[in-house]
Amino acid sequence: MSIGKPSTGILIVVVGPSGVGKDTVIAHAARHFAADARVRFVRRWITRPQDAGGEDHRPVDPDAFLAHEASGGFAVSWRAHGLCYGIPYESREELNTAPCLIVNGSRSALPLFLIAFPRVAVVEITARPEILAARLAMRGRESHAQIAARLSHRPTETAISCQTWTIDNSEAPEKAGLAFISIIRDYVAAS
């Protein structure tokens, strides 16, 4: 697959540990920008059922995911916590008509995003450990042992050369959502 880069629109990659509230913050911004064609939100392919909770994703079985990946159907794909994640190749083309594209990503996949897209910014969502533990337990997708494993996981630092913001989502999600909206507005205004 050729990696040729699309237009000069920006891709904002949202990262942070599982359960930190990335989906909630992204959904808050998606509602705010619903009528604004300059801002679009990428729907990821994930090898998990649609009814597993969290983001609106395209559920796909592992064999179909691997076939789509092998055919060059993803701009970026990665594995984490026993699942496969993919960003559709078509999202690169969306940057020709939308100056700002938002995607729920992964810190470990950031080097791949930097290869596939000409302009990337990163928004890292964080939360205090006790908040994170409570959120993971509430969503009910994992056992106590799996939650403990997630909480003990320390991601490898990835050196990236792009604009990065950190938003603390330990309080009301609306507060983090408003902070994210402000970041997006700045990019749209500059385009």
For 129, phi then psi, to 5°, come to -55, -40
Question: Which residues are annotated as part of the binding site for ATP?
Answer: 16-23
**In angstroms, rounded to a whole number, what is the distance separating the alpha carbons of residues 117 and 115?**
6
DSSP string, 32-46: HTTT-TTEEE---EE
Type of residue numbered 176: A
**In angstroms, rounded to a whole number, what is the distance separating the alpha carbons of residues 13 and 1?**
22
**In angstroms, rounded to a whole number, what is the distance separating the alpha carbons of residues 63 and 2?**
23
Beta-bridge partner residues of 59: 46
**In angstroms, rounded to a whole number, what is the distance separating the alpha carbons of residues 51 and 59?**
9
**In angstroms, rounded to a whole number, what is the distance separating the alpha carbons of residues 118 and 4?**
9
Angle among Cα 87, 160, 106 to the nearest 5 degrees reads 35
Question: Which residues are annotated as part of the binding site?
Answer: 16-23
